[in-house]
């Protein structure tokens, strides 16, 4: 029987107005991968922040290796061997990997660069973490940066590692590599906690799963009890794992016709290269590809935020290639951008102000008709199940799912002919995902032409009529849903042209 390295007993933590953790208990055993599962706002991060000493619990106690501990700061937690890897890495871009790992060390006045590098390389080797220790952070990939974060914790002798949504920023291949590393580490005696809401990866990797729901433990699953339907039932109370299915649609005339479009990316290099496709009335064209292969540029070129250097874009037979954002809006092109907070919504503004972002200029006269805007928002809240305390509160306080519902409701209110959705469910929990997908299908039935950019191949195959694969800014191929297989899509995402297998 492995030893319990961490016991959190009856932890309760309240914030004014919210009970973030209510009598939560959690036991971590030596050498296991323990998943902490729950929807957004279920209290996962709060619980871990209590464990690492960022928050102080109101009641309850924490035992590390059987001893009661009271962490006052993350320093105390690290001293007890607990390290946390946050979703957003805390690395210094202008420093090398070695310098980042050793940051905060108390050493002698002068340090030998060579010695430092050897010691960090040795540590990386020991745990099978493949990184170039002399490279600058700005030069390495996101996957490598994550390994540097893990190295930082290991260097501080952490043997209990908490990873907050570790795969959110990784490609499927990088995620697989991470899981192998984590498994390796547990074999060497480390204990790992993964905070996640992706069911499939939890099923693949976790030894034990603790499911949180509204701040309470909804259940603990072990061994063969760890399966998708069991976990999702614990997470939201009943079995509704994406049971939205598209109806047979009536595909009509061409609404969006894109021909040989080229565009530059933010670095001024070729971001899109000779992209051609068309979308018809009532059709969803899925866009697959590893993130950063032209999806962002494609969305921005279509909505007018980026100019096409070559090619043409026709929207229901009207050439809109050179049109501004606003005239594209007026011709019926709606866009849900990839970063919903920043481009899609303004965090400091309230829901009412955000709801008029794309239509305020149509209000008559000099002033904005706030009476109408407010009642529209109240209607949208009811119609789209947006949960919010107060439409006058800044939207940055809303959960990701509610933000996205608000954003999508705003774009749908424009009654678009063409709807471009860029990663519409990224980071959302199942309930919100379901809602967003059903809204997308509803628009398709209304005859909207939809461009659906996603990283979730299952969802792409399920909802798209056709799937276009992007690689390096150009189209690897467009295949019909009936012919789409994950393996083939995977190859095309890697740059293989259609049929060239």
Residues that bind another protein (CB under 8 A): 15-18, 20, 54-56, 69-70, 72-73, 76, 303-305, 324-326, 329, 335, 337, 339, 342-349, 353, 356-358, 360-361, 363, 366-368, 370, 393-394, 396-397
Nearer to another protein, 1 or 366 (CB): 366
Q: How far is the CB of 74 from another protein (least distance, A)?
A: 12
Q: How far is the CB of 347 from another protein (least distance, A)?
A: 7
Please report, for residues 113, 129, 153, the alpha-carbon distance to residue 102 in angstroms, rounded to integers and kept in the order given.
Answer: 11, 16, 10
Name residue, tokens 């209590």: 50
Q: How far is the CB of 465 from another protein (least distance, A)?
A: 27
Nearer to another protein, 369 or 498 (CB): 369
427 SS3 class:
coil
Q: How far is the CB of 119 from another protein (least distance, A)?
A: 28
Counting Cβ atoms within 10 Å, is residue 468 exposed (0-12), middle (13-18) or buried (19+)?
buried
Q: How far is the CB of 352 from another protein (least distance, A)?
A: 11
Q: Which two tokens stand for residue 77?
A: 């937690």
- Three-state secondary structure along 117-171? HHHHHHHHHHCCCCCCCCCEHHHCCHHHHHHHHHHHHHHCCCCEEEEECCCCCCC
Nearer to another protein, 123 or 341 (CB): 341
Nearer to another protein, 29 or 426 (CB): 426
Degrees, nearest 5: CA angle 132-147-116:
50
Nearer to another protein, 328 or 444 (CB): 328
Where is 374: in which H helix or E strand? helix 370-383
Starting at the earlier edge strand, list the strands of the sheet with 59-64. 18-29, 4-15, 59-64, 67-69
CA distance 23 to 329: 50
φ/ψ of residue 271, rounded to 5 = -100, -35
Q: How far is the CB of 420 from another protein (least distance, A)?
A: 12
Nearer to another protein, 407 or 457 (CB): 407
Q: How far is the CB of 343 from another protein (least distance, A)?
A: 5
Please report, for residues 141, 294, 309, 412, the alpha-carbon distance to residue 269 in angstroms, rounded to integers and kept in the order given.
Answer: 19, 11, 11, 33
Q: Contact, 27 vs 4, CB < 8 A?
A: yes
Q: How far is the CB of 399 from another protein (least distance, A)?
A: 11
Nearer to another protein, 254 or 343 (CB): 343
Neighbours of 214 (CB within 10 A): 13
Q: How far is the CB of 30 from another protein (least distance, A)?
A: 23
Q: How far is the CB of 289 from another protein (least distance, A)?
A: 22
Nearer to another protein, 275 or 345 (CB): 345
CA distance 377 to 393: 13
In sequence order, which ranges of 11-112 are alpha helices (DSSP H)? 44-51, 74-79, 97-102
Counting Cβ atoms within 10 Å, is residue 361 exposed (0-12), middle (13-18) or buried (19+)?
exposed
Nearer to another protein, 16 or 107 (CB): 16
Nearer to another protein, 73 or 125 (CB): 73
Q: How far is the CB of 72 from another protein (least distance, A)?
A: 5
CA distance 188 to 193: 15
Nearer to another protein, 132 or 330 (CB): 330
User: Roughly how many angstroms between the first and final C-alpha of the chain, as a whole number?
Assistant: 49
Q: Contact, 68 vs 6, CB < 8 A?
A: no
């Amino acid at each position: 029987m492995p030893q319990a390295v961490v016991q959190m007993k009856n932890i309760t933590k309240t914030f004014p107005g919210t009970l973030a953790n209510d009598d939560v208990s959690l036991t971590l055993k030596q050498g296991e991968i323990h998943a902490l599962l729950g929807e957004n706002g279920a209290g996962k991060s709060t619980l871990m922040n209590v464990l690492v000493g960022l928050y102080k619990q109101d009641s309850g106690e924490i035992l590390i290796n059987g001893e009661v501990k009271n962490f006052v700061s993350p320093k105390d937690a690290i001293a007890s061997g607990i390290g946390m890897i946050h979703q957003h890495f805390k690395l210094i871009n202008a420093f090398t990997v070695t310098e980042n790992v050793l940051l905060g060390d108390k050493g002698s006045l002068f340090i030998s660069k060579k010695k430092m590098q050897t010691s960090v390389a040795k540590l990386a080797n020991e745990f099978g973490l493949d990184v170039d220790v002399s490279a600058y952070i700005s030069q390495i990939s996101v996957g490598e940066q994550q390994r540097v974060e893990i190295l930082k914790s290991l260097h501080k002798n952490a043997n209990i590692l908490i990873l907050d949504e570790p795969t959110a920023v990784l490609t499927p291949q990088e995620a697989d590599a991470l899981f192998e590393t984590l498994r390796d580490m547990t074999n060497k005696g480390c204990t790992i906690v993964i905070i996640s809401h992706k069911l499939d990866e939890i099923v693949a990797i976790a030894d034990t799963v603790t499911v949180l729901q509204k701040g309470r433990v909804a259940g603990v699953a072990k061994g063969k009890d760890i399966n998708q339907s069991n976990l999702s039932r614990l997470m939201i109370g009943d079995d509704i794992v994406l049971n939205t299915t598209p109806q047979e649609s009536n595909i009509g005339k061409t609404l969006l016709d894109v021909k040989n479009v080229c565009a530059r990316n933010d670095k001024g290099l070729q971001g899109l290269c000779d992209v051609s496709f068309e979308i018809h009335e009532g059709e969803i064209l899925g866009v697959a590809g590893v993130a950063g292969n032209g999806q962002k540029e494609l969305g921005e070129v279509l909505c007018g935020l980026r100019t096409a250097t070559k090619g043409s874009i026709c929207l229901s037979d009207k050439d809109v290639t050179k049109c501004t954002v606003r005239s594209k809006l007026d011709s019926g092109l709606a866009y849900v951008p990839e970063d919903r907070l920043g481009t899609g919504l303004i965090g400091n503004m309230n829901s009412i102000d955000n709801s008029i972002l794309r239509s305020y200029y149509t209000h008559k006269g000099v002033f904005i008709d706030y009476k109408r805007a407010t009642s529209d928002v109240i209607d949208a809240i009811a119609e789209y199940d947006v949960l919010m305390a107060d439409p006058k509160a800044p939207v940055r306080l809303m959960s990701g799912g509610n933000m996205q519902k608000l954003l999508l409701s705003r774009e749908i209110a424009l009654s678009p002919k063409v709807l471009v959705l860029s990663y519409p469910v990224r980071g959302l929990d199942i309930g919100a995902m379901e809602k967003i997908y059903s809204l997308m299908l509803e628009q398709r039935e209304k005859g909207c032409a939809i461009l659906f950019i996603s990283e979730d191949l299952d969802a792409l195959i399920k909802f798209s009529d056709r799937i276009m694969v992007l690689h390096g800014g150009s189209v690897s191929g467009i295949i019909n849903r009936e012919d789409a297989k994950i393996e083939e899509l995977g190859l095309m995402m890697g740059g293989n042209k259609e049929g060239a297998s």
